[in-house]
Amino acid sequence: MRRRLPNRRAAESIGFEFRGAPYRVCAGRFDDGQLAEVFIDCQSKGMLPIADDAKDSAVCLSIALQYGAPAEVIRAAVTRTSDGEATGVIGRVLDLLHEEEART
């Protein structure tokens, strides 16, 4: 069953660079602190295809989270290089959010 989010909720925003393009991610959490949704925006003009891929990936990730998939399970399942770096934007976003969470 899908966990619904309140209409108004806090969100954290992080800017980052991935594959040479600037991005901004906004993340919302459930009341218990678990990741609930992400919005990913590629902020480079002329990057429409990767901007669309980032937005669609964020929608799919958000739906998975709201239906109960743990962020850490998704983070562990995404494609990575042999040294552990995420190869896709979702993995990079989940790594960034994990790092931010570890700092608090």
Cα–Cα dist 42/55, whole Å: 8
* Positions in the chain whose pLDDT score sits under 50: none
Residue at 5 is within a domain: no
Residue 3: inside a domain? no
**Residue burial 87-96, b: 16+ Cβ < 10 Å; e: rest:** ebbbbbbbbb
This prediction has a pTM of: 0.91
In a domain, 68, yes or no: yes
* Domain assignment of residue 30, given as a range: 11-103
pLDDT in the model for residue 24 = 97
Within-domain flag for 56: yes
Q: How many domains does the chain contain in total?
A: 1
38 occurs within a structural domain: yes
